[in-house]
Amino acid sequence: MSNADFVDPYWLDLSSKSTVSVLFLAPGFSALAAWDAAKWRNLMINAARSWISVFSLIILYVAAATMATFLLTLLALMAQVTPSVGFPRLDVLALGVAVTCAYTAFGFLLGRFLPGLVAAPLAFVVIWGWVAYTPAVQPFWLRNITGNIGSSCCSVDFQLVPLALLAPAVVAASLLVAVMAVLAWPMRPLVWAFSVGIVGAAVALSATMMSDIGADPVQGRTGSQQCVENAGRKFCAWPEHAAELRQTAKNLGNAADALSSAGLDVPSTLRENAKSKDRWSFSLNSGNVDFRAKTLILSQLDELPPPCTDQTQGVWPAGVNFELAGAWLLAVTGTPVTEAAEVSGASLPDLRRLLEEDLESQAQWYESALSAMRSCDPV
């Protein structure tokens, strides 16, 4: 399976996915910098260079190598998925470079004072744990200040929250300033206190910025969609999917008409990935035109089971009708009955008994089942 199966033709998604290598670059460069600094400590007695000049040169090399890695990754993704509108998000790439340099600086500082055999593995473990392990723990703000957004952002219907880039950038900048201060004045206790304080303050400030954000620093995308009309209905999608929308509009129109003919209330305007209660929507992310039409047909079941199952140990009494509801939606929109039951995992005899009732009763059953499935009430 290719990267194209996981990346939208959306510059924010491509740019963020291009920085996933932070997971490996940051701990790797940090360990190498620690080893290099330990070697320089033995050479500094007779060297003309200062610690700041050596540090700056290493950070420059790391920044160049990191950006080159990101750009090569971006080019590889663009070879498979090329957005039709917009430009690469250089701010996202710049954040990846900044945090990689900051974590490299941490390793360099360890090597300045510890033996290479101790500093290098210690730098790798600490940075790896910080960048890679925090996504698995709470509170969520921890993962959102590491700068590793490649696994958190963003499908075409999402965008970064306003402070998503600023929060990790503040931490990275504070770490760079702290390391440079200690390298310049290593024997002054006040400098050490300043360095610890500035990093602590930056983490506290960033935590405040991200305190109300969930597991990923994203929110619903804003902005205008492009629309086409078919069979008296308007179908709207994000600009990146304009071509797919034109290809699929007829199939979406047929699916919407079939749902209406089955007695369901389908609005005159339908939007891509517009998830909310009682709203029909569709997806253009992948698949052929028939598959995309099925995403409209089954869209009301996408957000199930309801969140309340988290508080009821996963008990979802109304869920017994989930497969049958999906099979019924497919059957009344033209899918053969046997195929609809098989695809949905529903009982074929139950589906046939439901379809033997008059259409109004079938629609009433579906609406009742859907209402129950959206709650944790018993059937």
CA angle 158, 163, 167 (to 5 degrees): 125
What digits encode the pLDDT tens for the residues 280-329? 889 887 778 888 899 999 998 887 777 666 666 667 777 788 899 999 99
Q: The pTM is what?
A: 0.80
- In the block, residue with structure tokens 């995309």: 292
Strands 218-220 and 226-230: unpaired
Query: How much is the pLDDT for 5?
Result: 47
Strands 281-282 and 269-272: parallel
What digits encode the pLDDT tens for the residues 40-53? 887 765 555 788 99
Strand-pairing partners, residue 220, are 158
DSSP 204: H
Please give the mean pLDDT across all residues of the chain.
88
Query: What is the dihedral angle through the alpha carbons of 160, 165, 167, 170, rounded to the nearest 10 degrees?
Result: -170
The answer to whether the CB of 362 falls within 8 A of the CB of 263 is yes
Single-letter amino acid, residue 137: V
Classify 107 in phi/psi space as left (phi over 0), alpha (psi -120 to 50) or beta.
alpha
Q: Which of 372, 379, 324 is nearest to 352 (CA)?
A: 324
Task: Say yes or no to pLDDT of 117 above 50.
Answer: yes
Query: How much is the pLDDT for 313?
Result: 65
Both tokens assigned to 252: 């979406």
Helix (H, G, I), strand (E, B) or coil at 220: strand
Q: Which of 344, 341, 361 is nearest to 352 (CA)?
A: 341
Strand-pairing partners, residue 159, are 219
